[in-house]
Amino acid sequence: MEKRDIAILMLALAGMVILAGVVKPLLTGQSIDLSLPPLPGILPAEPTPGPTPETPITRVTTAPPTTETPPPTPTWSGKPQTLGYVALVTPSPTPSFSILPDTSAPPEKLLTYATIQSHAGGITQAMAMPFPYWELHYTVDPWETTFVGETSSKMAGQADYFASEIFPSFSIEVRDAADGSLVRKIEPRGGLNAKLWKENKENDPRPWIEKFYEGTTTRSYYFVVNTHMIHSYKMEVKVPERYLGKY
C-alpha cells in the first residue's frame, strides 16, 4: 500500500471517530466516546450478548422407603414344643381345710294322725287339719296282672283254659270339706304291678307319699277313693311330732 492510500485511510478513520465520538453524542445527548470503532477485518467485533440462560431447576426425587422383607415363618414339624417362663410368680400357700360338722337337720319324726283302711272304694268322713304341714302315706295290694282259669279236665288231653290281662287301678281324690272342691288327685306313680314287686322287692315303691303345705289356715278334708281289682289298701295321715301341744 502507498503512503497516499495510508493517509487517506487515516483521514477516513479520524472522520469516523469524530462523527461517532463527538457529533453523534452531541446530537443524542450522550457522553462523548473517543474510542475507535472496530474496523472490519482489523479489530474483532465485540460479541453481541445473547439471552441470559435460565438457571436450571434441580428436581429432587424422593425415593420410596425401603420395606424390609420379614424372615420366613418356620414350618411346624408336628412335634410339641416346651415353653419356659420369662418370669415366675411365687405360688400362694396351700390353704388348710377343716371338715365342718354335719349341720343337716335330723329326719322329721312323724306321728299318725288318721288311718283309713279297706278293700273297696268310697267317700270318707271329713277330717279337720289344724297343722301347717302333713303327709299322706298309702299302700295298695293289687291283683296280679294275669289271671288264668281252666274250663275242663286234663283227663281227656290238654285242658282248655282262658287267660285275660287285667289292669288294677287306684286313685284318691282329696277334696275340701267346705265346698267339695278338688284339692289334689293322687294315683300311684309307676302303676300297680304285683307280679313285678313279688319277683324283685327292690322294685316295690310302696308306700307312696304325698306332701301338703297348708300354711296357717285350718281346713277340713275328705277323701274319695276309687279302686279296681284291688285286694286292699291302707292310708295314713301323718304330722310332725313337734306339733304336739302347739295346735
pLDDT under 50 in the chain at which residues?
A: 42-43
Q: How confident is the model at residue 73, as a pLDDT?
A: 65
Of the candidates 213, 139, 222, the residue with the CA atom closest to the CA atom of residue 180: 222
Query: For residue 91, what pLDDT is reported?
Result: 73
* pLDDT tens digits, one per residue of 91-107: 777 776 666 666 676 78
Model pTM score: 0.53
Q: What DSSP letter does each residue of 6-32 carry, written as one string?
A: HHHHHHHHHHHHHIIIIIHHHHHTPPP
The label of the residue with cell 285242658 reads: 159
Q: Is residue 78 in some structural domain?
A: no
**What are 173's strand-pairing partners?**
185, 224
Digit-coded pLDDT (tens) for 19-31? 666 656 666 666 6
Does one domain contain both 130 and 234? yes
Q: Judge if 233 and 128 occupy the same domain.
A: yes
Angle at 238 between CA 237 and CA 244, to 5 degrees: 130
Whole-angstrom distance between the N-terminal and C-terminal Cα of the chain? 174
pLDDT of residue 212: 95
Residue 143 forms part of a structural domain: yes
Shared domain for 120 and 233, answered yes or no, is yes
CA–CA separation, 70 and 197 (whole Å): 79
14 in the Ramachandran plot: left (φ > 0), alpha (ψ -120 to 50) or beta? alpha
120 with 33, same domain: the answer is no
| pLDDT for the residue 97 | 61
CA distance to 126, 158, 184, 237, per residue, from 223 (Å): 8, 49, 10, 11
Asked if 124 and 223 count as a contact pair (C-beta separation under 8 A), the reply is: yes
Q: Determine the 3-state secondary structure of 192 from DSSP.
A: coil
212 in a domain, yes or no? yes
Q: Give kind and range of the element (H or E) at residue 196.
A: helix 194-199
How many C-beta atoms lie closer than 10 Å to residue 129's C-beta? Answer: 21
The pLDDT score that the predictor gives to residue 216 is 72
Domain count, the chain: 2
For residue 198, give the H/E element and its range. helix 194-199
Give the pLDDT of residue 4. 72
Residue 203 within any structural domain of the chain? yes
* Domain that includes residue 205, residue range: 110-241
List the CATH number of the domain containing 196. Answer: 2.60.120
In a domain, 114, yes or no: yes
- CA-based nearest residue to 234, from 125, 140, 127: 140
Count Cβ neighbours within 10 Å for each residue of 20-53 and write b for 16 or more, e otherwise: bbeeeeeeeeeeeeeeeeeeeeeeeeeeeeeeee
Is residue 89 one of the residues assigned to a domain? Answer: no
H or E element in which residue 3 lies = helix 3-18
Q: Residue 57: what pLDDT?
A: 61
Between CA 113 and CA 86 the distance in angstroms is: 74
- CA distances 16 to 6, 9, 41, 45, 190, Å, are 15, 11, 16, 16, 152
